[in-house]
């Protein structure tokens, strides 16, 4: 059943009445706003507040703890990049682990890779999965793939127990490091990821905004340089409804066969468009371009 829809959440009225305004201590002094047509769902899970609303210009919007996770209009930019940057960088990925990503969009994208035999996913919050299946069928379509094995639980614990060297790729589609995703940005988590990857395996994690979070990015980069003995790279893309309009990814490989993330070796099979719809954002050119950094960020990231 839908949650209590009678009380208007503070973020709907605090800046412009009838608009959702995204406010967080992670981006003080600014708040991106979207006009709300209708609130479709409001609930509180064991982990976070969950809201779905129909916006005037970006389709339906999923909000967790007051922060936009996806909109129907621009989710392609995030889901396609966080998935294909790692999977198109290695030949024949077979076993893939997704941490977070409860909406199912990353699963939809992983499923485009015909070489993949097993897709494990560990999402902490069942309410996100259920709400996505109800309101975002074109995103949650990822759950229909028979290769998917969904575990509801904490990604940190899941990875601690994962068999050593067992995955070709790990994709960490997490929320921000306030709330349940905090540990997904810390060193012990990256150590478990490295342990779970096979030699020359790859990880791609959500790594915040160059404009807002250079301090977080610096910490992630220096941890990753210590832990991953293959390559360590930062990439970014444009997602209009994320704070500052951009989002970054940390891409690393473990020691073993060389991975050159900037030059994709594993193109996506065009026939995947039949079942999963056409790619809307990703292509080989944008893959390589994603690793070009503005000078201010290049200086900091390369010095770590
Ligand atoms: N895929 C989305 C998009 O298109 O932008 C964005 C983020 S996704 C919904 C983030 C997910 O990470 C949430 O569903 C959240 O419940 C999950 N999550 C947060 N902490 C977690 C943890 N410790 N273990 C597993 N999942 C976690």
The answer to whether the CB of 100 is under 6 A from ligand 1 is: yes
| pLDDT at res. 221 | 96
Distance 273 CA to ligand 1 centre (A): 25
Query: Given ligand 1 and candidates 101, 110, 239, 240, which is best to mutate, with the most ligand atoms within 8 Å of its CB?
Result: 101
Ligand 1 pocket check for 176: Cβ under 6 Å: no
Least confident span in 79-83, 265-269, 292-296: 265-269
Range 271-290 average pLDDT? 90
* pLDDT single digits (tens) 178-222: 889 999 999 999 999 999 999 999 999 999 999 999 999 999 999
The predicted pLDDT at position 275 comes to: 79
Percent of the chain with pLDDT over 90: 88
ipTM surpasses 0.90 = yes
CB atoms near residue 67 (< 10 Å) = 21
Average pLDDT, the chain: 94
- 3, 6, 2, 22: which is closest to 69 by C-alpha? 22
Residue identifier of the C-alpha nearest atom 27 of ligand 1? 100
Q: For residue 260, what pLDDT is reported?
A: 97
Question: Percent of the chain, pLDDT > 70?
Answer: 96
208 lines ligand 1 (CB under 6 A): no
Q: What is the pLDDT of residue 6?
A: 61
Residue 102 token pair: 């409860």
* Atom of ligand 1 lying closest to residue 181 CA: 20
Per-residue tokens: 183: 């540990």
Ligand 1 centroid–CA 175 distance in Å is 5
8 A C-beta contact, residue 202 and residue 252: yes
Residue nearest to atom 15 of ligand 1 (CA): 100
The answer, yes or no, to whether residue 11 has pLDDT greater than 90, is no
Q: Is 181 in the pocket of ligand 1 (CB under 6 A)?
A: yes
The string of pLDDT tens digits covering residues 79-126 is 999 999 999 999 999 999 999 999 999 999 999 999 999 999 999 999
Find the angle CA(132)-CA(137)-CA(138) to the nearest 5 degrees: 115
DSSP assignment letter at 115:
T
Between residues 8 and 135, which one has the greater pLDDT?
Answer: 135
Q: How far is the CA of 103 from the centre of ligand 1 (A)?
A: 8
What is the reported pLDDT for 1?
Answer: 45
Atom of ligand 1 nearest to the CA of 128: 14
Sign of CA dihedral 190, 196, 198, 203: negative
- pLDDT (tens digit, 9 = 90+) per residue, 21-73? 999 999 999 999 999 999 999 999 999 999 999 999 999 999 999 999 999 99
Q: Which two tokens stand for residue 44?
A: 């509180």
Using a 6 Å cutoff on CB, does residue 241 contact ligand 1? no
Among residues 46, 173, 260, 269, which one is catalytic? Answer: 173
C-alpha span between 258 and 199 (Å, rounded): 9
Residues sharing a CB contact under 8 Å with residue 248, sequence separation 6 or more, in sequence order: 206, 207, 208, 209, 210, 217, 234, 235, 236, 237
128 confidence band (pLDDT: 50, 70, 90): very high
Expressed in angstroms and rounded, the spacing between residue 206 Cα and the centre of ligand 1 is 10
Determine the average pLDDT of the residues in 266-273: 84
pLDDT: which is higher, 163 or 6: 163
**Ligand 1 centre distance from Cα of residue 45 (Å):** 13
d(CA 101, ligand 1 centre) in Å = 5
175 Cβ below 6 A of ligand 1: yes
pLDDT > 60? residue 2: no
Q: Is 74 among the residues known to form the active site?
A: no
Crossing angle of the two packed helices 187-196 and 214-227, in degrees rounded to 10: 40
Question: 184 CB under 6 A from ligand 1?
Answer: yes
């Amino acid at each position: 059943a839908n949650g209590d829809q009678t009380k208007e959440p503070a973020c709907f009225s605090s800046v412009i009445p009838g608009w959702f305004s995204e406010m967080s201590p992670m981006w003080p002094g600014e708040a991106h706003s979207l006009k709300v047509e209708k609130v479709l769902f409001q609930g509180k899970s064991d982990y976070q507040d969950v809201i779905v609303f129909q916006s005037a210009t970006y389709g339906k919007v999923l909000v967790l703890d007051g922060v936009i996770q996806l909109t129907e209009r621009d989710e392609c930019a995030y889901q396609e990049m966080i998935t294909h940057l790692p999977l198109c960088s290695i030949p024949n990925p077979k076993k893939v682990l997704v941490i977070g990503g409860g909406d199912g969009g990353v699963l939809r994208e992983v499923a485009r890779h015909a070489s993949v035999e097993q897709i494990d996913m560990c999402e902490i919050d069942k309410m996100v999965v259920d709400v996505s299946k109800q309101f975002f069928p074109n995103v949650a379509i990822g759950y229909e793939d028979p290769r998917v094995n969904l575990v509801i639980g904490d990604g940190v614990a899941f990875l601690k127990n994962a068999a050593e060297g067992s995955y070709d790729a790990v994709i960490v589609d997490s929320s921000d490091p306030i709330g349940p995703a905090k540990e997904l940005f810390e060193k012990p988590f990256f150590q478990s990821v490295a342990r779970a990857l096979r030699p020359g395996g790859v990880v791609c994690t959500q790594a915040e905004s160059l404009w807002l979070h250079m301090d977080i990015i610096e910490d992630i980069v220096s941890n990753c340089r210590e832990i991953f003995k293959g390559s360590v790279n930062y990439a970014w893309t444009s997602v209009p409804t994320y704070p500052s309009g951009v989002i970054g990814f940390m891409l690393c490989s473990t020691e073993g066969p060389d991975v050159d993330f900037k030059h994709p070796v594993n193109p996506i099979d065009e026939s995947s468009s039949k079942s999963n719809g056409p790619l809307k954002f990703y292509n080989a050119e944008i893959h390589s371009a994603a690793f070009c950094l503005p000078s201010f960020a290049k200086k900091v990231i390369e010095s770590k």
